[in-house]
Structure formats: structure tokens, C-alpha cells
Amino acid sequence: MKKTTRLYACLLGGMFLGAGCNDFLKEDSGDLLIPGKVEEYAPMLYKEGYPMDFYNEVAWFNLMTDDVEMGHLELDPEDEEYENWEKSTKNFSDFTTMVDGGEVYQWKDRFDGHSDRFWESRYQNILACNTVIDALPQMEYVKADSGKYHFLASQAYALRAYYYWCLVNTYALPWTAGNLEKPGVVVRTQPQIDISARRRSTIGEVYRLINEDIAEAEKHGNVAAFDGNIHRISPTAVLLLASRIALFQENWDEVIRTGELFLEQNPAVLDLNAQKAEALGEDSDEKGFAIMSRGNKEVVFTFGGKTSTYHYGNLSNSAYWGGLGFRTSHSVEGALTEAYEEGDLRKKAYFKQDIPAKEGENWWDPSTPYTYKYYYPVKYRGIPRDGAEKPAEKLLHENWRSVEVLLNVAEAYTRKYNAVTNEALSLLNRLLRCRWEKSVFVEKTVADFGSGDALVKFIWEERRRELCFEEAMRFWDLKRQGMPELKHRWYSSWDAFETYTLKEGSPNYVLPIPRSELDYNGGCTDNARELILPE
């Protein structure tokens, strides 16, 4: 077996970049734990190769999109007490000092405190995947355990493909035929820490590795023995990822092939009409509904950290003292909450209306209820207080769902033929009939769309409505959809705001390479970004 597998000892200690790893990497170290069997690598991959805190590392991406706006919290101009509230709140301390994430929201040239962690964590995960992949040719297993071997291999290749997909879609221009020779990200495939100067591979080179890895993941997955744990990337989940990777490369045939294979294995779409109406928009364990719940067969993979009631990054979940903060966009042009039409149950099911529009007589008295106006995402269930769920069934913050594949394949059929196809409409209607109130739902037909472009626009809007606040999908989608102009209002005080405009095609859609990489990798170049001044 290769000496590089000795990195396992480092991984177990969690010392990826610390000085403690140096001793383990010496050739003369004699007391190393060197795994050789499948069952020895599997726990290491799960501990170090899976993105255990992904939701904390990625939530701030929402601040760069049109799904979030900054503004007055809790105070509603329609409230008859608004004027008194306004006067008292204005006299409070400067609330902008309490609003974290302003540099991201304004698309500043650098925001390393946020970006470093996402970059570093992905490469730490990649290092664990590299260790497993490097050891596969010499890995020991009996013939009866070949399914476990192939399952381990499938996971390692799929995870590495996912991480490089995340990185290249964050720190490089989107995939286009004209961008393939432009800088992508640093590619590391060796199973040990490498601090030598290394250039950024091109976007084309990064995607070549991603495509090779996802192909290997699918090949191994075809003969893998999946253990049924939804916290592992199953062969079915590999197909979902493959359809996504192909979508972002506009490889329509591959989107259709992998997507249809996926839908043969998991065609589930949860019908919101079948849920208790009073549970929609509630986040309590006892009576609430969450689309991310273990009863939802749409979910094929869960990851990213433990759940709790409020964890959508920088979004304010309370405004007890009034003031300013970030909310789901609701009042600006193109606001997310306005994207849902009357009868679309997702507006009720995916958001808690948690800010009062009309004040009760006594705000602290539950007998004088509030009427709610603003919205906070409640797409996943918090951890049950009684701990009743089995560990292998407990859903975490991020979840891959079958409905994404419906949208992927619908877009692929539309763009492949540049027309309104029956295949795309059938896929869309499978989703929409489970998202709209039955009493008002009408199936989409060819007559509803004047062209293929009109249908693509509708599919993109559906992606926003369905996948909002999941991973960093809105930010990644905006990049591949042409990097449109966005506007953000930043309140410098209660009475005054400045408008920041991210122009169409702005280089600031591509995040800066973190200092954590630039400071020690002399071969890595940064991304050029523009100065965005307030209007």
C-alpha cells in the first residue's frame, strides 16, 4: 500500500493544516495507523469527507442574491402605531453595527472572513476523498464485501465531484464554451497536504475532472451495496448530482439520461395539499410542517449540519428591539415573496409569517394575537426535543430532492429542442399539481408559452420558488443564467439608505480567491473585481 495512506492518522486528529500533521507525513514515522480495509476507510470518509457544517459555511451566499433585502424590521407603515414606533426606534443605537454581512450584501471587493471558511472546508473534504480514491487499487476486501467497496468508491468520487463543482461555480466564471480556458480553481488530487505553488486549473480542466469523477461514481454505484443511510450519497443521489453537473454545462442529453434514470428510482413529489393547512408555515416540532422532514420521500441525501429552529445565516429571525436587518425580500422589485401567485401553497409552507403587520393590544399577551406580514424560511424541521428520530433517519439542513431533477430535465428538454415540449410540460405539471391548491390548479399547456425561451424563463422562476435557501442554489443559478443586474438597498441609518447595483455580467459575480490560499500559494492568482459605489 502507498505511504500516502498514512494521512489517515492526520484526518482522524482533524489536523489538516496544523503543524501536528508534519510528523505523520515523515517517511520514518513508525507508529502510524495505516488503514487497509474498506471498513477502516468508510468511517474516515464519513467523518472527514462529508460536509458536516455546510449550512453555516454557505448561508451567507444568500446575501449576494435577490432573495434577501435589508430594511426595517417589525415596523409596518400600515400599522396605526407606526409613527410612535418609528420615533422611539430612531433614537436607539445605530443598528447597522449589529448587522453582520454588509460587505457581502454590497458585493465588496473582499470579504475573507466569510469566503475563507467555505474554500478551506471544501479542500479539507477533498483531501479525505483523495485519500480514499488513492487507496482504492490496493484496498482489501473479501469478494462478499465487493458491494461495500464499490459503495465507498462511489461516495468518494461523487463527493470530490461535488466539492469541485461548488468551488468552480463560486470562484470562477460560469461554464460557457468561451470561458473554458479561463481560470478555474486549484485542483488537488494527491492524498497529502501540498503547500507548493500551484496554479489555478482552467474551467475546462476542472470540469474534466468533475465529469470523470461523477462517471466513476455512477459506475461504482451501479454495483454498490447501499446501506440505506440517507446521510450517505446513495447511487440514486449520485444520479441527481450528475444531472445537476450536466445542467450547468448545458449537456442536455446527459441531463436527460441521468435525470430519467433518477426518476425511475425515485419519482416522489410530496403533495402539499395532503398536509394539514394549519401546519403550513409553522416551525414547532409538535404541529408544524417542513418540506425537509423524514416523511418526505423526495429527499435522497441529507447533509450539512444539525438542524435547529432558526438557521438561515444572516437572515433576522426576530426583531424584538425593532431596528434594521436582513429579511426574505418582500418589498423591492422582483422580491421572492411576490414570485408566488395566489394559490401556490409554497408561500404558506416554506415561510413562517413571523413579523407583525398589526400590533396587538399587548405584544407579550398571547390572547391578543398578531397578524403577520413578513416571511422567514421554515423549510426544515428542528431537532425533536424527545430525540425520537433514529440517527440514520434524522434530516440535516441541506437536502437533495427529487423535484430538482424534474426541473433539470424539463429545462434540458426545452433547451435541447428550443421549443415547448410535451416532455417538459409533463415534468412541470408533476411538480405543480403537488404545489398548488387543487381547487385552482390548472395544468400548463403549450398554449401557455409563446416560445421555448418563455418556458425556460418559467422553469428558472420555478427553480427560485422551489429551491430557495437550499445550498447556494440561487447564487449559482444567477451566474449560469447570465449574471443579471441586481440592486440592494443598504440602510446607513433609519431614515437613509444607499443603493448598490451589481451590473449585468459584473466581475463581482465571481468571488475573490481567499487570503488563506493566496498567502501560501504563490502560483494562485486572484480574481479581478470592480469597486461598486453607492448611488
Query: Does the structure show a pLDDT above 80 at 528?
Result: yes
- Distance, in Å, from the CA atom of 55 to the CA atom of 4, rounded to the nearest integer, reads 31
* pLDDT band of 456, cuts 50, 70, 90: very high
Q: What local confidence, expressed as pLDDT, does residue 356 receive?
A: 57
* pLDDT band of 389, cuts 50, 70, 90: low
- Distance, in Å, from the CA atom of 482 to the CA atom of 48, rounded to the nearest integer, reads 35
- Rg from Cα positions in the chain: 24
Phi, psi of 489, deg, nearest 5: -95, 125
* pLDDT band of 394, cuts 50, 70, 90: confident
Query: Does the structure show a pLDDT above 60 at 173?
Result: yes
Which of 248, 50, 47 has the alpha carbon at shortest distance from 165?
A: 248
> Each residue of 425-434: pLDDT tens digit?
999 999 999 9
| Cell triple for 349 | 409552507
Q: What local confidence, expressed as pLDDT, does residue 384 receive?
A: 46
Query: Does the structure show a pLDDT above 50 at 39?
Result: yes
* pLDDT band of 115, cuts 50, 70, 90: confident
| Cell triple for 99 | 448587522
Q: What local confidence, expressed as pLDDT, does residue 255 receive?
A: 98
pLDDT above 70 as % of the chain: 79
Q: Are 211 and 245 in contact (CB under 8 A)?
A: yes
* pLDDT band of 12, cuts 50, 70, 90: very low
Residue 37, strand partner residues: 140
Higher pLDDT, 115 or 48: 48
Cα atoms found within 13 Å of the Cα of residue 382, Cβ hemisphere only: 16
Q: What local confidence, expressed as pLDDT, does residue 459 receive?
A: 98
Q: What local confidence, expressed as pLDDT, does residue 316 receive?
A: 78
* pLDDT band of 396, cuts 50, 70, 90: confident
For residue 414, give the amino acid letter: T
Mean pLDDT of the chain: 85
CB burial class (10 A; 0-12, 13-18, 19+) of residue 155?
A: buried
Query: Does the structure show a pLDDT above 70 at 94?
Result: no
Q: What local confidence, expressed as pLDDT, does residue 324 receive?
A: 78
Query: Does the structure show a pLDDT above 80 at 5?
Result: no
Q: List CB contacts of 97: < 8 A, sequence separation 6 or more.
A: none
Higher pLDDT, 294 or 90: 294
> Each residue of 234-257: pLDDT tens digit?
999 999 999 999 999 999 999 999
Query: Does the structure show a pLDDT above 70 at 321?
Result: no
* pLDDT band of 366, cuts 50, 70, 90: low
Query: Does the structure show a pLDDT above 50 at 33?
Result: no
* pLDDT band of 113, cuts 50, 70, 90: confident
- Distance, in Å, from the CA atom of 296 to the CA atom of 294, rounded to the nearest integer, reads 5
Q: What local confidence, expressed as pLDDT, does residue 523 receive?
A: 97
| Cell triple for 479 | 451566474
- Distance, in Å, from the CA atom of 391 to the CA atom of 302, rounded to the nearest integer, reads 12
Q: What local confidence, expressed as pLDDT, does residue 72 receive?
A: 77
Q: What local confidence, expressed as pLDDT, does residue 322 receive?
A: 55
Residue 525, strand partner residues: none
Query: Does the structure show a pLDDT above 80 at 188?
Result: yes
The average pLDDT across 517-535 equals 95
- Distance, in Å, from the CA atom of 484 to the CA atom of 236, rounded to the nearest integer, reads 33
Higher pLDDT, 102 or 67: 67
The residue ranges of DSSP E strands in 245-322, in sequence order, are 299-303
Q: What local confidence, expressed as pLDDT, does residue 14 receive?
A: 42
* pLDDT band of 80, cuts 50, 70, 90: low
Query: Does the structure show a pLDDT above 80 at 269?
Result: yes
* pLDDT band of 392, cuts 50, 70, 90: low
Q: What local confidence, expressed as pLDDT, does residue 141 receive?
A: 86
Query: Does the structure show a pLDDT above 80 at 164?
Result: yes
> Each residue of 211-225: pLDDT tens digit?
999 999 999 999 999
Q: Are 375 and 330 in contact (CB under 8 A)?
A: yes
Q: What local confidence, expressed as pLDDT, does residue 4 receive?
A: 40
Query: Does the structure show a pLDDT above 70 at 11?
Result: no
Cα atoms found within 13 Å of the Cα of residue 278, Cβ hemisphere only: 2
Least confident of 19-23, 292-296, 519-523: 19-23
* pLDDT band of 318, cuts 50, 70, 90: low
Which of 218, 101, 121, 114 has the alpha carbon at shortest distance from 166?
A: 121
Q: What local confidence, expressed as pLDDT, does residue 153 receive?
A: 98
Higher pLDDT, 474 or 24: 474
pLDDT above 90 as % of the chain: 64
Q: What local confidence, expressed as pLDDT, does residue 89 receive?
A: 58
Higher pLDDT, 36 or 498: 498
At how many degrees (to 10) do helices 402-417 and 452-467 cross?
A: 170
Residue 377, strand partner residues: 351
Residue 177: count of CB within 10 angstroms of its CB: 8
Q: Are 247 and 411 in contact (CB under 8 A)?
A: yes
**pTM of this prediction?**
0.90
CA distance to 252, 406, 491, 502, per residue, from 450 (Å) = 22, 21, 41, 30
Residue 487, strand partner residues: 501
| Cell triple for 341 | 401567485
